[in-house]
Amino acid sequence: MMGDGIQMKKLFASEVQEELDKATFFSAEVFTAEDFAGLPAPIERYFRHLGYVGQRKTSTVKIIYDEVAF
């Protein structure tokens, strides 16, 4: 039973890597002030404060979770 979990984790990691290898991480588009215009004011200010306006938009994101039971 324990081996099945290890195999599943390896399969998952392999499939994730395949998708990442095919991915384009940044698009040619950049964030504009209009991208944030419809958001609540505190969120809009937050994104502007972080300097997102003028930055390239990302196409993918990789999130790593610690201590996840497979």
CA distance 30 to 10: 35
The β-bridge partners of 56 are 30
Model pLDDT, residue 54: 94
The answer, yes or no, to whether residue 12 has pLDDT greater than 80, is yes
Count how many domains the chain has: 1
Domain annotation covers residue 65: no
Domain annotation covers residue 70: no
Model pLDDT, residue 62: 75
Model pLDDT, residue 19: 84
Closest CA to 37 of 49, 45, 29: 45
Domain annotation covers residue 53: yes
Q: Please give the radius of gyration of the chain, using alpha carbons only, rounded to the nearest integer.
A: 18
The answer, yes or no, to whether residue 2 has pLDDT greater than 60, is no
Domain annotation covers residue 66: no
Model pLDDT, residue 43: 95
Domain annotation covers residue 40: yes
Domain of 23 in residue numbering reads as 2-58
Q: What is the pLDDT of residues 19-39, one digit of tens each?
A: 888 877 777 889 999 999 999
Supply φ then ψ for residue 46, to 5 degrees. Answer: -60, -50
